[in-house]
């Protein structure tokens, strides 16, 4: 049973998401962060400290914890693992929320092979909440606490999706890095074109409005989060190249291909969606109704 928790980075959006749910479930939650006190969720115990250079107070809280959640950037988490391995209880559970899983999985197995550990990646912005949304789960070192935590996350309304670290990074490369790159590339092209957005807003069809909405959400978010998606994932460079190649192929098709060839490509794209095509057509129709 989880009674005492430390959420490292608990003053940030992802850390708050976990801290608030754990607190609501009756756990005693300590928030460890490097920012000034006041940003942590109400009801938590604040410890100001650096997880990569443990002070006595933070080390004591970590040593008493049933659960330690690392809601910090990738580089910080990787630097923290060796020190954490020396202070965690044998029956404690270590959780990371990183967007890339292979490096942290290897680090935990190398430095803390006997510590129960699982990587979680909420595949949504924290302000949306867990209900009905997917959480990728990579079991690093299995044990009874791991299953208990996954059940707990499921009880929060999330859809827990198990996978290994390599599969996680491949899927995140396509579902996050490729998607964000497409939206950011659209934004950069829009900037270079320099249209009057007030006039665009008057006539924009639903697809353009949807892209503007995505661009507004991403550009209003935490830069470090979106940069990590592009810079930390080993698959990201390859998917960006494929995105650029896709635009090049489209240009070639329009400038040098026939109408029949264009129709063939659309058919291939539709076939790629397979049995999922009706679901996404209906989803798009509902989205466009709201737009």
Question: What's the whole-number mean pLDDT along residues 173-183?
Answer: 97
Flag whether pLDDT at 37 surpasses 90: no
User: What is the rounded average pLDDT of the residues 176-191?
Assistant: 97
User: Which pLDDT band holds residue 24 (cuts at 50, 70, 90)?
Assistant: very high
Answer whether residue 222 shows pLDDT above 90: no
Q: Where are the alpha helices (DSSP H) in the chain?
A: 13-24, 56-64, 74-87, 102-111, 144-155, 165-172, 179-193, 197-203, 206-219, 223-231, 236-256, 259-273, 277-290
Q: Residue 119 belongs to what H/E stretch?
A: strand 116-122
Which candidate, 221, 122, 133, 142, places its Cα nearest to that of 180?
221
| Token couple for 218 | 């991403």
Specify the pLDDT at position 2. 85
CATH (residue range 4-163):
3.40.50.720
Three-state SS for 162?
strand
Query: What's the pLDDT tens digit per position in 223-238?
Result: 988 998 999 899 999 9
> To the nearest whole number, what is the mean pLDDT of the chain?
95
Whether 236 and 244 have beta carbons less than 8 Å apart is answered as: no
Segment 130-149, tens digit of pLDDT? 999 999 999 999 999 999 99
Residue 103 has pLDDT above 80, yes or no: yes
Average pLDDT over residues 156-185: 97
User: What number is the average pLDDT over the span 255-269?
Assistant: 97
Which pLDDT does position 21 carry in this prediction? 96
C-beta separation of 32 from 8 below 8 A: yes
The token duo for 276 is 């999922």
Angle at 229 between CA 138 and CA 12, to 5 degrees: 80
Average pLDDT estimate for 185-214: 96
Indicate the domain borders of the chain.
Answer: 4-163, 167-256
Average pLDDT value for residue range 207-220: 96
Q: How large is the average pLDDT for residues 112-133?
A: 95
Is the pLDDT confidence value at 39 over 80?
Answer: no
Phi, psi torsion values for 132, nearest 5 degrees: 75, 10
- How many Å apart are CA 242 and CA 178, to the nearest integer? 9
At 35, is the pLDDT very low, low, confident or very high (cuts 50, 70, 90)?
Answer: confident
């Amino acid at each position: 049973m989880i009674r005492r928790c430390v959420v490292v980075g608990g003053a940030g959006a992802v850390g708050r998401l976990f801290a608030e749910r754990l607190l609501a479930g009756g756990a005693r939650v300590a928030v460890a962060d490097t920012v000034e006190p006041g940003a942590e969720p109400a009801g938590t115990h604040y410890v100001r400290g650096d997880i990569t250079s443990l002070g006595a107070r933070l080390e004591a809280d970590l040593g008493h914890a049933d659960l330690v959640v690392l809601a910090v950037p990738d580089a910080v988490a990787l630097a923290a693992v060796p020190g954490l391995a020396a202070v965690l209880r044998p029956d404690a559970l270590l959780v990371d929320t990183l967007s890339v899983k292979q490096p942290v999985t290897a680090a935990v197995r190398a430095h803390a092979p006997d510590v129960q550990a699982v990587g979680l990646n909420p595949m949504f912005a924290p302000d949306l909440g867990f209900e009905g949304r997917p959480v990728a789960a990579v079991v690093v070192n299995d044990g009874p606490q791991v299953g208990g935590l996954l059940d707990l996350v499921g009880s929060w309304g999330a859809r827990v999706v198990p996978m290994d670290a390599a599969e996680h990074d491949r899927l995140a490369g396509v579902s996050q890095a490729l998607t964000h790159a497409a939206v950011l590339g659209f934004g950069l092209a829009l900037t270079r074109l320099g249209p009057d957005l007030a006039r665009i807003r008057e006539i924009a069809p639903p697809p353009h409005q949807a892209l503007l909405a995505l661009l507004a959400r991403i550009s209003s978010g935490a830069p470090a989060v979106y940069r990590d998606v592009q810079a930390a994932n080993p698959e990201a460079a390859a998917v960006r190249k494929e995105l650029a190649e896709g635009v090049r192929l489209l240009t070639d098709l329009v400038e040098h291909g026939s109408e029949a060839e264009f129709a063939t490509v659309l058919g291939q794209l539709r076939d790629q969606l397979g049995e999922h095509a009706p679901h996404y057509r209906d989803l798009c129709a509902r989205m466009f109704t709201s737009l």
